[in-house]
Structure 1
Amino acid sequence: MAIAPFLLAIYFASLTIYRSVAVTILTSPDELKSSQYDFVVIGGGTAGLVVATRLTEDPKVRVLVVEAGGRNEGVLNSIVPYFAVQLLGTSSDWNFTTVPQTGLLNRTLPIARGHILGGSSSINRLDYTRGSNDLYDRWANLTGDPSWSWASLEKYYLRSSRLVPPTDGRDTTGDVDPSTHGFGPIQVSLVSLPAELDARVVNTSRLLGGRFDYTQDWNSGNSIGIGHTQCSIGQGVRSSSAVAYLDPLIDSSSRPNLSILINTVVTKLLPSEASHGVPEFKTVELGQVNSNSRFRVSATKEVVLSAGAIGTPHILMLSGIGPKEVMTPLGITTLVDLPSVGQNLTDHPLIQTHFLVNSTKTFDDVLRNETLAQQTFAQWNTTRQGLFAGPSGGTIGFLRLPSDSPLLSRFGDPASGPHSPHIELIFANAFGAVGVSVPATGNFMSISTGVVSPLSRGFITLISSDPFGKPLLNPNFLDNDFDVFAMVQALKDMQSFISTDPWRGIVIGPTGQLVDATTDEQLQLYARNASVSLNHSIGTARMSPFSAEWGVVNPDLLVKGTRGLSVVDASVFPSIPECHTQAPTYIVAERAVDFIKRGMACVLVELGLSEG
């Protein structure tokens, strides 16, 4: 959605969004006071900041975080929840682009990844859904490690986030289940200032039941139904890993053993002498854009790679860890031949559809009326309340295919279990297109449909040995027929839902290409013409059993065939979550901290510095 130009002036004029910072974050490797740390964390994103802040709870542990992007401090479009996706396509986004997608009629798509402290948790659309218990039990089966089951992971979910009230102070009884939430730093809340649309969605769900049945809480272990959106928002601002985990330490100056180096790219990992025939990677080479200088830092204990599902395999392959046939032609010496690096790229396809509605209570006028937008921003800026304290929609749905769907008999059930969905509906009370101006007149609602259990698989690979270049990115959207047919089902479910009595006289009709898409064949074509990425890339360094020849990391997240190197981010997911990927990434990061601490304890025992 386009934002009025007046916000540029507010960005510079509004001082209330800034805080005094007691600790300086380093902006150049020249400023490093040491070249050696206990841990070097590559990536200050969703997972990396969790790992770094948790490890440095021990004052004797020294950690360096290397982040390619800049500060999150004072970045208005990251702070204000209603502006959630305004950073896409800016310098705070890596601005990746896919190769032409065969399943999308050879269209190329932008893929958003955070290039800023907090990573994608600083630029995403805020939804907080952890997925069903079935998801994590599936991970335990895929990895052969019961510690990835929900029974073992629940404590990490509780440790990562907590439920807080929406800023409007309304009674949320029946809209959320507080007993399913934890006590961690990430603040999670229902949307403030719910729209007329939200009540209509919930009422329709309760009326219809069945596949559209109402669900009270997405974080209860059952991810099926329609209900109120939960977002990573607290006190009217985005709650990212940078805001929730890092900023309190910066403000209090309570963590001198944690250093953050921004605007710096990891060019490659360097091996030391092999230990027992296994290469050890504890040295990191650094560089900055427009500079030929290279710097090296080392970890005495471990390097933690948290560069995300695109950045992590890119760095691994630049370092000689990956498919030999990819690296050799580019002059990169193969140190560890791991064919799975960069493979299994999986993402959720999404279609944004807009409907003209007979209502004057949508939020469209705020986006096209500068005076009204100024007033709304002023309300948020002084009180952290009002429309801008939340996203434009407060309801969401996760549905399974009909039990008699021929897709299930033809393809099997790709979901993790009976409490995991196949498709998604996201409701917004405005013309919610990213990067598209709101029409000059009319009132709209938007419904996005997605496939959350896709069978299409893509890959990431190198096209250059230049560490400042971008990898080739091919998610293979709608490459598998299941995904096409499931998206058609989602479109049909969307239309069935808003054709019921509660919507009579409200919905005038769809806009754009959906107007003429009435048959299954036309809907398939519409899906191929209109699908984009929900920006949930995962799986490119996936976990596998210790004995498996496939996969990139073992269940303890250490890279196969190496020592001293682990991966902690969404790239390790062995299957795609049937939910938004933010909350599962926090769970993995919190779990990883205990793996790393256990490894530290083992080293101390080996050195005779601990009794174990």
Structure 2
Amino acid sequence: MWFPRAHAGALKKWAALVGDNSFLFENMLPYYKKVSTFTPPNKKTRITNATTPYDASVWSIGGPVQASYPNWANPISSWIEKGLKAMGIPALSGGLADGKVWGYGYPASTIDPAQESRSSSSTSYLREALKKSTNLNLYKNTLAKKITFDGSKKATGAIVSAGGVEFPLTATKEVIVSAGFARSPQLLMVSGIGPASTLQSFGVPVVADLPGVGQNMWDHPLVAPSYRVNVLTHSGFSDPAVVAEHTALYRNSLTGLLTNNGGDILAFDKFNSSQVSKGTADALAAFSTDWPSLMFMFLDAYLGYNENGGSGPDGNYASPMIALTAPFSRGNVTIASSDTADNPIISPNWLLDPRDQEQIIAAFRRARQVFTQKETRPIVIGDEVFPGLDVQSDAQILAVLKKQVFSAYHGSCTCAMGPKGEKMSVVGTEGRVYGVRGLRVVDASIFPVLPPGAPQHTVYALAEKIADDILTGN
């Protein structure tokens, strides 16, 4: 639900990789603004020391997606601010929406302030289109089986399945695939677009041999220690009295813990020369100078080995989750069969590259510093709960983190945008798939690089940009 934007350095790299300056931050900003309607934080319901600076000039109103802030600011966040300042991480003034990410801040989230509920593509774009459009047909519970082509390799539609019955849908102009980082490459491959050797091994006729389909997968692998604290967090929902109190607050006044999505402060940092080896530091230098190495996502719950957090053994917990934003490991997605009813095979390959192992150890040590500052110690009860202070050496830390590491759910780049003729390029800058006609992919799979931070806002902006391309005939 976090709604930060890609920073200027990431979009500069994107533009350079694809040879198109329309992807620079200043040129993407109108599309970012077009996406949403922004509502400032409610100062009447949020605690005064949970400051939420933002730059109103980079926001607008009138877009379908609601962007706002929860009516409940997690009490622990103001303590986290103190810890981050003590660690030398500065406060950001632009709310992570103005092209700058170096520091910490409270990003807007996709929250509808009228109901304090999630604003999604379904509740915004789709609902609006269903009300206004006279030519939109929605097929619910329907699975795309494959894209169809004519003899000239022009996409003519798709075979879909619903209720056990397969039937064709015909496209008179274009087919647009938006199935995500895993399903988009799967659908291309079962339709004959992808690495020829893979397609042939499953008996799929090759329409276009594109080796990059399903390759180059980026993600933000994350880990975290966990601490018991003496302020209310989402772990408090293990107490029936807390559940009753905050359910009543939500129902009666749209306030309380249930308006918050579990973490409301983000921070970005960069390794210094003492934290990683020279070889890793030199490799990281290939990213832009404003490209952070680390992203803090503060979960006010116990993490441990629970992918989605939990209540912890007893009481209230907090976990300074930290993710690598400049990873070197690349995953891949491939098909298990020629049928999309069979799930694709996803190999994220987190921490496969030794440089990422070095980074994740350093990142974990950095995360441990948040609740060991004298400024944050007043809220910490006892010592670190997970993994515990007996885990100290690099080898011990790495062993725990290999078991704990989770996805930030930022999978991307598996149908990467790039110049025509480059081996791993799958689509051009308008999302058109190479080697065929009348087919586009529009989702996070076509990112050429994964910017630091949550990709949601950039996916929306990219879709608006390509919609403009379609409307203008590009």
Question: Structure 1 length as normaliser, TM-score?
Answer: 0.72
Amino acid aligned to 2:75: E
Distance in 1 of aligned mates of 2:248 and 2:134? 37
- Per-residue deviation, 1:295: 0.8
- Once structures 1 and 2 are overlaid, which stretch shifts more, 316-325 or 194-203? 194-203
Once the two structures are superposed, the pairs formed by residues 36-185 of structure 1 within 5 Å of their partners are 126-167=1-42, 169=44, 170=46, 175-183=53-61, 184-185=63-64
Distance in 2 of aligned mates of 1:222 and 1:379? 35
Residues 1:527 and 2:404 are matched in the alignment? no
**What whole-Å deviation, never above 9, does each CA across 1:290-315 have from its counterpart, x for those lacking one?**
x1x22111111111011111011100
Residues 1:386 and 2:256 are matched in the alignment? yes
Q: CA RMSD in A?
A: 2.1
Distance in 2 of aligned mates of 1:466 and 1:199? 50
Residues 1:493 and 2:366 are matched in the alignment? yes
Once the two structures are superposed, the pairs formed by residues 254-293 of structure 1 within 5 Å of their partners are 254-274=132-152, 279-288=153-162, 291=164, 293=165
Aligned to 1:353: 225
CA spacing shift, 1:406–1:128, aligned 2, 3 Å: same
Amino acid aligned to 1:269: I
Distance in 2 of aligned mates of 1:580 and 1:430? 20
Q: Is the 8 A contact 1:127 1:229 kept in 2?
A: yes
Task: Classify the secondary structure of the residue corresponding to 2:138.
Answer: strand
Aligned to 1:303: 175
Distance in 2 of aligned mates of 1:415 and 1:384? 46
Q: 1:233 aligns with which of 99, 111, 116?
A: 111
Distance in 1 of aligned mates of 2:7 and 2:211? 31
- Per-residue deviation, 1:497: 2.7
Amino acid aligned to 2:133: R
Q: Is the 8 A contact 1:139 1:148 kept in 2?
A: yes
Q: Is the 8 A contact 2:29 2:58 kept in 1?
A: no
Aligned to 1:30: none
- Per-residue deviation, 1:138: 0.6
Determine what percentage of the aligned residue pairs are the same residue. Answer: 27
Task: Classify the secondary structure of the residue corresponding to 2:172.
Answer: strand
CA spacing shift, 1:406–1:371, aligned 2, 3 Å: closer
Q: 1:199 aligns with which of 78, 81, 103?
A: 78
Residues 1:567 and 2:441 are matched in the alignment? yes
Q: Is the 8 A contact 2:196 2:209 kept in 1?
A: yes
**What whole-Å deviation, never above 9, does each CA across 1:524-572 have from its counterpart, x for those lacking one?**
2222121111111101100111343431001121000110001100000
- Per-residue deviation, 1:407: 4.0
Once the two structures are superposed, the pairs formed by residues 161-560 of structure 1 within 5 Å of their partners are 161-167=36-42, 169=44, 170=46, 175-183=53-61, 184-209=63-88, 212-216=89-93, 217-235=95-113, 236-250=116-130, 253-274=131-152, 279-288=153-162, 291=164, 293-357=165-229, 359-365=230-236, 367-403=237-273, 405-407=275-277, 409-410=279-280, 411-413=282-284, 416-431=287-302, 433-434=306-307, 437-439=310-312, 441-507=314-380, 508-560=382-434
Q: Is the 8 A contact 2:276 2:359 kept in 1?
A: no
Unaligned runs of 5+ in 2: none
- Per-residue deviation, 1:155: 1.0
Distance in 2 of aligned mates of 1:427 and 1:243? 27
Q: Is the 8 A contact 1:287 1:295 kept in 2?
A: yes
Q: Is the 8 A contact 2:37 2:66 kept in 1?
A: yes
Amino acid aligned to 1:135: A
Aligned to 1:582: 456
Distance in 1 of aligned mates of 2:276 and 2:183? 38
Task: Classify the secondary structure of the residue corresponding to 1:300.
Answer: coil
Q: Is the 8 A contact 2:194 2:212 kept in 1?
A: yes
Task: Classify the secondary structure of the residue corresponding to 2:332.
Answer: strand
Q: Is the 8 A contact 2:107 2:265 kept in 1?
A: yes
